Structure 1
Amino acid sequence: MKQNILSYLGLLLVPLAAQAIEPGPSSKYQQETEHWLLLQSRGQAVSPIPQTAAASERDLSLQRWLESYKHPIPQFFKDYSGSNRK
């Protein structure tokens, strides 16, 4: 009984042990990527040319999406990672 109480108490204390990682110095490439993502999210890096799809392109993409529902969902997925394929 005492062991159960201690384990429950330990489980309650687990979230208190989780801490956020402090942002540290990042590489030049990461800073540039973060800068571009920030520009995109704020809408500051918008193309002056609107990119639209033709009606035929929209119909084809919609048809492709609808056909994806024709395939049954398998019971499980085989894992092919690693060197031995079975």
Structure 2
Amino acid sequence: MKQNMLSCLGLLLLPLAAQAIEPGPSSPQQQETEAWLLLQSRGQAVSPIPQAAAASERDLSLQRWLESYKHAIPEYFKDYSGGQKK
């Protein structure tokens, strides 16, 4: 009984001993990506030319979005294992 109680106590204290992984980028590619995302979120890499869609472009994109609702959602998706199609 005493051994069982000590085992349970040890399991309850186990999460307190876990250590978190240091935050931050792990590779140069990730550092570069995070730098670009930071510039984007702060608005520091803004194009001097405003980019607005024409009315016809907005109409076409809205039409494409509305047509996407015409397709039925499948009951299940096919399972692909190992990157190979079955």
What is the TM-score with the length of structure 2 in the denominator? 0.67
2:56 aligns with 56
Amino acid in the other structure paired with 1:49: I
Does 2:60 match 1:67? Answer: no
What is the number of residues matched between the two proteins?
A: 78
* Cα deviation digits, residues 27-60 of structure 1 (max 9, x gap): 3332222111111111111111011111000000
**Greater CA radius of gyration, 1 or 2?**
2
1:29 aligns with 29
Amino acid in the other structure paired with 1:26: S
- 4+ residue stretches of structure 1 with deviation over 4 A? 12-19
Give 1:21 shift.
1.8
2:42 aligns with 42
Amino acid in the other structure paired with 1:32: E
2:4 aligns with none
Return closer, same or farther for 1:24/1:34 CA change in 2, 3 Å cut-off: closer
1:78 aligns with 78
CA distance in structure 1 between the aligned counterparts of 2:32 and 2:48, rounded to whole angstroms: 22
What is the TM-score with the length of structure 1 in the denominator? 0.67
* Cα deviation digits, residues 1-47 of structure 1 (max 9, x gap): xxxxxx9xx6x878767753213673333222211111111111111
Superposed CA RMSD in Å reads 3.1
In structure 1, runs of 5+ residues without a counterpart are 1-6
1:4 aligns with none
